[in-house]
Amino acid sequence: MENKLKTLFEKKFGGKGTLYASAGRINLIGEHTDYNGGFVFPGAIDKVIVADIRPNGTDRVRLYSADMDDSAEFGLTEADAPKAQWARYIFGVCREIIKRGGRVEGFDAVFAGNIPLGAGLSSSAALESCFAFALNDLFNNNSIDKFELARIGQSTEHNYCGVNCGIMDQFASVMGKKGNLMRLDCRSMEFEYFPFAPEHHTLVLVDSHVKHELVDSPYNKRRESCERVARRLGIDTLRDADMAMLDAVRGDISDEDYRRARFVIGEKERVLAVCDALNAGDYDTVGRMMYETHQGLSRDYEVSCEELDFLNDVARECGVTGSRIMGGGFGGCTINLVPNALVDSFIATAIERFESRYGHAPAIYPVIISDGARRL
């Protein structure tokens, strides 16, 4: 990909840029907890966005997306927002750096990636963090700290893309470290790297190809439910709630809001249980928690779909240790913790059964936990 981008840069703009990359992410457990001040447990993966970038001495940004074979050009004031969604991610990053007092001037860039779009692997966060990291390096001498780079990506989603997301994806994409998952406390923003190299298990993603689209999706509605319950309880976020508190207000909130909050409260406990289980090498508990999360996401949080519930059932029938829908939901992948001895038979069975039911094969992605945003 790097050589292809260098050639493209030369062709489009002449000369050479500097190469930067950032990564998509998985999340072992801790879903829809980030915007509730809870815990998440993600890691960056070996699927990346790479950009070749060079300041151009003007106040214009000129971009070429190799994957879409599309160009965009814009200025750097609020009024210059481009129409194309893909370009708005980069425009938003520029604007959010400028709003924080950082410097961004005109630049030329070509970029490409191999993160499947709409699969719940956070390709948009990878795009944001690749450019946030690069522009901080090129124009600000790296004076913006890495957490703030993640927040710049998150604010881009909020202010330019219509998704009121939490911090998990951008955090994972910026901070990811090879061989490590990260447990992030989204209230204090303290985090810890967790070496993750299971001896007897492999992580396998199964992509249903049901397109997950968070823009204009019920994602924002889920967040509103949680915020409504927190307000009713008189607390800032559901991080500070427990089941007794929730049950005490059950009569005052809708059944739907009750179930949303029940999931979030349970998920907070599950992340901590998974971390303890990993420390003890107890993969059975890790897996059981993943199945519980799936149930909760499907029944209480209602962000699964028929195809993903089907894949979850297949995993269970194949003896997979843990399986669940991953990311925001409404399509995308399941993440599966598979005993090494079962990997081949699970993949073959999942493909065969899914294809005979839905008429197309799911995609399978093995996962390698890798580095996040960086200069190449």
Site size with ligand GLA, rule: CB under 6 A: 11
Tokens of 60: 């214009």
Which range of residues in 11-19, 62-70, 165-173, 232-240 is near ligand GLA by CB under 6 A?
A: 165-173
Give residues 2-41 in contact with ligand GLA (rule: CB under 6 A): 31-32, 34-35
Beta strands in 124-200 (DSSP E): 180-185, 191-195
Q: Considering beta carbons, is residue 322 or 328 the nearer one to ligand GLA? A: 328
Give residues 305-334 in contact with ligand GLA (rule: CB under 6 A): 327-328
Active-site residue, from 108, 169, 300, 371: 169
Q: Considering beta carbons, is residue 17 or 38 the nearer one to ligand GLA? A: 38
| Measured distance CA(310)–CA(296) in Å, rounded | 15
Q: Considering beta carbons, is residue 80 or 224 the nearer one to ligand GLA? A: 224
Tokens of 47: 């699927």
181 touches ligand GLA (CB under 6 A)? no
Q: Please name every residue paired with 337 in a beta bridge, in sequence order, or none if there are none.
A: 203, 322
Q: In what order do the strands lie in the sheet with 201-207?
A: 322-325, 333-339, 201-207, 363-366
Q: Considering beta carbons, is residue 296 or 328 the nearer one to ligand GLA? A: 328
Active site residue 240: no
Is 106 exposed, middle or buried, given 0-12, 13-18 or 19+ CB atoms closer than 10 A? middle
Q: Which of 96, 108, 128, 169 binds ligand GLA (CB under 6 A)?
A: 169
Q: Which of 51, 72, 149, 165 binds ligand GLA (CB under 6 A)?
A: 165
Rounded to a whole number of angstroms, the minimum distance from the CB of residue 57 to ligand GLA is: 35
**What is the H or E stretch that residue 70 is in?**
strand 70-75
Tokens of 16: 């050479």
> For 185, phi and psi rounded to 5 degrees?
-90, 110
Tokens of 121: 């692997």
- Tell me which residue has tokens 């992580």: 203
Rounded to a whole number of angstroms, the minimum distance from the CB of residue 21 to ligand GLA is: 20
116 touches ligand GLA (CB under 6 A)? no
Q: Which of 43, 82, 166, 372 binds ligand GLA (CB under 6 A)?
A: 166
| Measured distance CA(129)–CA(71) in Å, rounded | 20
Which residues belong to the active site?
Answer: 169
Query: Which positions lie near ligand GLA, rule CB under 6 A?
Result: 31-32, 34-35, 122, 165-166, 168-169, 327-328
